[in-house]
Structure 1
């Protein structure tokens, strides 16, 4: 039952991030769209949903079973993004599907190394956004950190595996090549997510804490 709930919450997180992607693609201004994209992470954090890119940051703070839970969450995120992207293709928002197709093409024509590096940078920002929401003592700081982390990664064109699950679905871009690139993005996101936490642990260890 616990795993089923975790999966359902992961599906909802995938849908939430997809809504962020939808508003980004619908915005005439890239900057405005990047800021509005943060509604996805806002929903995830405030509703306690399961998002792979956020949860993976804390894999070394939890027992081994947590890693398996992260994989389950990834699958749920994929399911949610696929449902949302497929639903968008059934609506009047044909311009969004065209933008998603163009954006997907740009990503899939990139080199694997470039995609990996951009995914690492992306989840450094996601970690900062989530950690700010979790631990910033000031209410304004909690949400400002989240807003900045998300909008900066979107404006910079970094690679978020769950957002790209939505873009590839809405743009009709799925293939073995796309699946491989999602895998590369996932590994990059995971590495970027644990980079700062591991450095913090090393600092604490060196100080004898």
Structure 2
């Protein structure tokens, strides 16, 4: 049996993966963008729910290994990206790889940028939907308020990077996210696709890299918790609300969302998408 043929029955070859990625980019940018918007809403919700799962694993972990705790958080967060892929939703960070469809000349620059904007705002809607569901569900009071305290400290940490640090963390994050998506193209079964994405996603989450869509949940959740929690919340966690006064829209957008989004575009669209496509596509 031919060795190459044997390999491709188990997984797509690098050249085939490049073609799949290019075709996916063409499909995303060419279809009716109202469909992309509505497809992006559940993707934003899936990533937000994954951060809910992450937050739960990081709550009340005093005395445990920092690294192992982060590993657990990263592994459970991978569920969000798995749901996005399996359910066929559109996620901004992976949609940055439509750069390869643009490089091949199969879509226009306008189509590419339009898709990014539509999906970005659809993801934002989905993430905020989960923010409000979690808020009105009273989840921040879980574990005697420690769940909400985890939200506060995580969100506050994210707005205290320098602009360039946030940009670089955004690049690193989307390198891993898009590598996870790229490798999932090689899979021939649901198990293949889901399993191969776990560790790349766990790497970026455990390492503290920055994902724009995840932050659309985490930081607004932190802002709500910081400014609208009842006095009982502050009493049970024994903290002063003024310690989190810097959790506001200005710091969210200017100090985090803008540089992280730009970094995500560079990491996914150029460092992974264009790089791997240029190397592996049939010439």
TM-score by length of 1: 0.91
2: CA distance, partners of 1:4 / 1:139: 28
CA RMSD of aligned residues (A): 2.0
Determine the structure 1 residue equivalent to 2:265: 190
2: CA distance, partners of 1:30 / 1:204: 34
Q: Out of 71, 82, 86, which is 2:117 matched to?
A: 71
**CA distance 1:200–1:32, change in 2 (3 Å):** closer
* Structure 2 unmatched runs, 5+: 1-30, 59-68, 141-145, 224-246
8 Å contact from structure 1 (residues 88, 97) kept in 2: no
**CA distance 1:12–1:102, change in 2 (3 Å):** same
* Structure 1 unmatched runs, 5+: none
**CA distance 1:58–1:145, change in 2 (3 Å):** farther
Which sits farther off after the overlay, 57-66 or 191-200? 57-66
Which sits farther off after the overlay, 79-88 or 131-140? 131-140
Determine the structure 2 residue equivalent to 1:46: 86
Q: Out of 205, 223, 241, which is 1:154 matched to?
A: 205
1:111 corresponds to 2:162: yes
TM-score by length of 2: 0.68
**CA distance 1:190–1:82, change in 2 (3 Å):** same
1: CA distance, partners of 2:72 / 2:184: 21
How many matched pairs? 207
Determine the structure 2 residue equivalent to 1:5: 35
1:101 corresponds to 2:152: yes
Deviation, structure 1 residue 200:
2.8
Determine the structure 2 residue equivalent to 1:177: 251
Could you say which structure has the larger radius of gyration?
Answer: 2
